[in-house]
Structure 1
């Protein structure tokens, strides 16, 4: 398999953060970035015969957290950092009291958060908030870190929060802590990947590959899949291009475009004229580790000399 790099898949930039209060409310400006952390805890299984050698790691628990710096002032936003603070209202006046809440249950004061990495998919390179494939939805988060509010002429008044993420047992077991992507998705992915389109070139124009005639001898072959593939399975052993009556696979450069779910096969040399070729795809897995259920096979004929 050709070693390919896709710099377009490298993300750099800030995010937008909302919290739920009968509707999504934006936290506004942040400083210092946001970090979502995940830590699995494992039990090291050892057996007498191998002494202290760890033969298996068994998952015992998972923990997660989110931290960010709130840059905009206001009691409502300060309350995010001090969940046991009490808001007092008298007419148009407001204040927040902070005192002893011994025995208070932080779980009852958690927030639902949405973290949206800013993208450039919108008009003119602006952020498209409807693109949620990279969004994090955190069901229950509460600040457990110290809150320091600096007063300095040389730096903004930013207070950082370090929130623990708690499991929401009303969710499916696989997403107790948080979800990456569309929060409305339900049901575990058990569907295998499949080829939804195969293309070859006829006179330089992409054409359905199955049964195609007069295919250019310098064609590339593009295979589009129903979903994202597990990239470690995208290799030469799973893609075979050969003459229909032959047994030797033709050497091809293999390039995977994760954004399009598309694999391109580029033969190392021109194909032979007036020859029937066969493309076979098998054994690929999606990112949920579901394997293709049946091979994809398509035949085409190259143009005469």
Structure 2
């Protein structure tokens, strides 16, 4: 008897871990899907003798980012990704407020932290993770107050090259794997 075999194409949601240790924030409730994107730009070279035909291309650079549509109104987690904000909490009553100030001149690289996207599929392994060693965060709330829409804060994490790792921008797979040979 011949066994049929399918192709296991992974789908499904993920969580995002931002930061490390006690400062780590986990974005685990999303609406609309976490999107990771990377783009490489290039300069095409042409010469008169070949008209508009590209005779050579040179990579100019790469960018990467992750967008997380965070669906909870959790002020403590939002404070970690809103530049120029200040969380104020009354420990006796548990009441909180998040003050957001105009952020002109805020250095996102200075406060960049590691980010890891981890699919929640039970069959997912660290090989399915995406890590951005230096991610700067910006949060953009988009709240519609009606009975048909969730209030979502789109958090964009911009990747910066980690110069301590030869300009590493992102890692696809298990970031803890080290080379053991060729």
Q: TM-score, normalised by structure 2?
A: 0.83
Q: Does 1:179 align with 2:178?
A: no
What is residue 136 of structure 2 aligned with on the other side? 142
Q: Give the C-alpha shift of residue 9 in structure 1.
A: 3.1
Larger CA Rg, structure 1 vs 2: 1
Which contiguous aligned blocks of 4+ residues in structure 1 show a shift greater than 4 angstroms? none
Is this contact kept in 1: 2:17–2:116, CA < 8 A?
Answer: yes
Bigger relative contact order (CA 8 A; separation at least 6): 2
Q: Give the C-alpha shift of residue 185 in structure 1.
A: 2.4
Is this contact kept in 2: 1:82–1:147, CA < 8 A?
Answer: no
Q: Does 1:39 align with 2:31?
A: no
Q: Does 1:54 align with 2:42?
A: no
**Partner Cα distance (2:172, 2:61) in 1:** 19
Q: Give the C-alpha shift of residue 71 in structure 1.
A: 1.1
Unaligned segments of structure 2, at least 5 residues: none
* Cα 1:170–1:152 shift into 2, 3 Å: farther
What is residue 101 of structure 2 aligned with on the other side? 99
Q: Give the C-alpha shift of residue 35 in structure 1.
A: 0.7
**Partner Cα distance (2:162, 2:87) in 1:** 26
What is residue 212 of structure 1 aligned with on the other side? none
Q: What's the RMSD between the two structures over aligned residues?
A: 2.3
What is residue 112 of structure 1 aligned with on the other side? 114
Q: TM-score, normalised by structure 1?
A: 0.52
Q: Give the C-alpha shift of residue 79 in structure 1.
A: 2.1
Q: Give the C-alpha shift of residue 151 in structure 1.
A: 2.2
Is this contact kept in 1: 2:83–2:106, CA < 8 A?
Answer: no
**Count of residue pairs brought into register by the alignment:** 175
Give the 5 Å matches for 1:80-229: 80-92=80-92, 93-121=95-123, 131-144=125-138, 146-173=140-167, 176-187=168-179, 191=182
**Partner Cα distance (2:78, 2:60) in 1:** 35
